[in-house]
Amino acid sequence: MTRHVYVHIPFCPKVCPYCSFYKEASDRNKTQPFLDAVLRELDMRRDEGIALRPHTIFFGGGTPSALTVAQMEYLLGGLRGRLDLSELAEWTLEMNPATVSLEKAKLLRDLGVNRISMGVQAWDAPTLETLGRVHTADQSRHSYAVLREAGFDNVNLDHIFGVPGQSPEAWRDTLRQTIALQPDHISAYNLTYEEDTEFMRKFQRGEFAQDPDADADLFEQTADLLAGAGYEPYETSNFSRPGRRCAHNLAYWRGHDYLGLGPSAFSTVGEHRWSNVRDTAAYTQRILAGEFAADFHEPVSPELRRRESIAFGLRTSDGVERAWLQPWGARVDELASLGLISTVGERVVLTPKGRLLADSVAEVFV
Ligand SMILES: C[S@@+](CC[C@H](N)C(=O)[O-])C[C@H]1O[C@@H](n2cnc3c(N)ncnc32)[C@H](O)[C@@H]1O
Ligand code: SF4
């Protein structure tokens, strides 16, 4: 039984210069056939034999909130009609502050969405401008109030640090302003320069620079500030109030099966992993012609799953079972002697120093 469903909505009000998620500028003509394709893909996967009773659903993107009220009603209503939601615990939808309205928020609540993840990124105008965001800080504040007014009691706010021109003081101030709003969950991502983005081109031309030591400092300050405000650091970039961890992301990190619908979406079911074509028109055309739209397939052996669970698990505050690491005995001793991991009872976790090098530590096991 597959318990986790992801739906990729590839439309954004405007494309941000740092982002490499698969998306395109919203296009009214493409949207309705795309919505039909997502529902059709779900039908095709079920006909193929994938049994679904979701515990979590995640609408990500792109910007799912770029859909109109009528389009949301069509897509989410269509999903509701097709899925057994009797065991659904968490239904998240990502929003951009520029695309929030009370009407949309109330409709989402009525349709069963119970968690919102909104990309505020920063509260100061210069950083928002560097990031090419379509919204102002005032708009983010207003949209957050709208979500609360609509009854959402589980809201995440996304942030980015290490942005060119963003001073450590500006970043701390962003965190303080967010803490004052008391969201239930906070994501704080270190800016990454992704292939094929305007930011990467500026980086390569020497217009933007990266300072890993400064970023490590910011990371430590972030964890301290948020822990002091009652947010538990449960994964490298994620902090939550008690009981508000993101169950969907935890399922990925624990290596559970998930079905992804929409262009570029990954799925892992049993010993098979695939991802759909990164092209909305091609995705829509293929699905509506009754063909699957995957252009990547990979066998997932229990051994690979184990390795991935270790790499992801180490990024979480729960760490991984000590017994799982037995095959890497000498490397584990080495990481411990470098002060990067430590043993707590039967589990191995990253130390604060290890958290700064989480990706390099994880690489040892994959
Ligand atoms: C799909 S977007 C969230 C929803 C919506 N599209 C928005 O931007 O408001 C997911 C999040 O990834 C983060 N992100 C995207 N590109 C990033 C990058 N290059 N480095 C760090 N974080 C990034 C941002 O914080 C963003 O809010
Ligand atoms: S950060 Fe969000 S709004 Fe900006 S391009 Fe990426 S998905 Fe779209």
Per residue in 71-80, pLDDT tens?
A: 999 999 999 9
Compute the CA torsion angle 2, 109, 240, 254 (nearest 10 deg). 0
* Atom number of ligand 1 nearest to Cα 194: 19
Q: Tell me, what's the pLDDT at 356?
A: 84
Q: How far is the CA of 206 from the centre of ligand 1 (A)?
A: 23
The pair of structure tokens assigned to 210 is: 């990266």
| Cα 283 from Cα 262, distance rounded (Å) | 7
Q: Is 63 in the pocket of ligand 1 (CB under 6 A)?
A: yes
The ligand that comes nearest to the alpha carbon of residue 13 is 2
Same domain, 189 and 322: no
CA of 132 to the centre of ligand 2 (A): 10
Can you tell me which atom of ligand 2 is nearest the CA of 19? 6
pLDDT of residue 23 exceeding 90 = yes
Place of tokens 């969405």: 113
- Residue 365 pLDDT grade (very low, low, confident, very high; cuts 50, 70, 90): confident
All residues at 6 or more sequence positions from 164 whose CB lies less than 8 Å from its CB, including other chains = 130, 202, 208, 209
Q: Do residues 241 and 307 both lie within one domain?
A: no
Q: Give yes or no: residues 40 and 170 share one domain.
A: yes
Query: Do 116 and 202 share a domain, yes or no?
Result: yes
Kindly state whether residue 114 falls inside one of the protein's structural domains: yes
Which residue among 253, 269, 289 closes a domain?
253
Average of per-residue pLDDT across 55-63:
97
Strand partners, 274: 267, 297
DSSP structure class, residue 191: P
What is the domain-level CATH number for residue 108? 3.80.30.20
pLDDT for position 267: 98
Rg over alpha carbons for the chain, rounded to the nearest Å, is 21
Residue where a domain terminates, one of 214, 237, 253: 253
C-alpha 43 to ligand 1 mean position (Å): 30
What average pLDDT is seen over the chain? 96
Domain contains 93 = yes
Which domain range does residue 319 map to? Answer: 303-363
Residue at 133 is within a domain = yes
Distance (Å) from CA 109 to ligand 1 centroid? 23
**234 located within any domain:** yes
Distance CA 21, CA 10 (A): 8
60 lines ligand 1 (CB under 6 A): yes
Determine phi and psi for 343, rounding to 5 degrees. Answer: -100, 130
Tell me: do 63 and 190 sit in the same domain: yes
**121 in the same domain as 192:** yes
Q: What is the pLDDT of residue 56?
A: 98
Domain count, the chain: 2
Distance of CA 167 to the CA centre of its chain: 25
Token duo for residue 11: 């439309």
Confidence of residue 178 (pLDDT cuts 50, 70, 90): very high
pLDDT at residue 59 in the model: 98
Residue whose Cα lies nearest atom 4 of ligand 2: it is 16
pLDDT of 359 reads: 86
Q: Ligand 2 site: residues with CB under 6 angstroms? A: 12, 15-16, 19, 21, 23, 61-63, 96, 119
Instruction: Determine the pLDDT at residue 22.
Output: 95
Mean pLDDT of 292-305: 95
Residue 271 lies in a domain: no
Q: What is the pLDDT of residue 54?
A: 98
* Whether 14 and 74 share a structural domain: yes
Q: Each residue of 328-362: pLDDT tens digit? A: 889 999 999 999 999 999 999 999 889 888 888 98
Determine the pLDDT at residue 366: 80
Please give the pLDDT value at position 9. 98
- Which pLDDT does position 30 carry in this prediction? 87
The mean pLDDT of 87-92, rounded to a whole number, is 98
Indicate which ligand has the atom closest to the C-alpha of 134.
2
Ligand 2 atom showing the smallest separation from residue 121 Cα: 1
Q: Tell me the C-alpha to C-alpha distance, in Å, between residue 185 and each of 156, 223, 230, 231, 347.
A: 4, 13, 11, 8, 25
Tell whether 324 and 207 lie within a shared domain.
no
Question: 215 and 307, same structural domain?
Answer: no
pLDDT, residue 234, reads 94
Same structural domain, 95 and 231: yes
For 105-134, what is the mean pLDDT?
98
Among 19-23, 124-128, 241-245, 314-318, whose mean pLDDT is lowest? 314-318
242 and 313 fall within a common domain: no
For the chain, percent of residues with pLDDT exceeding 90: 89
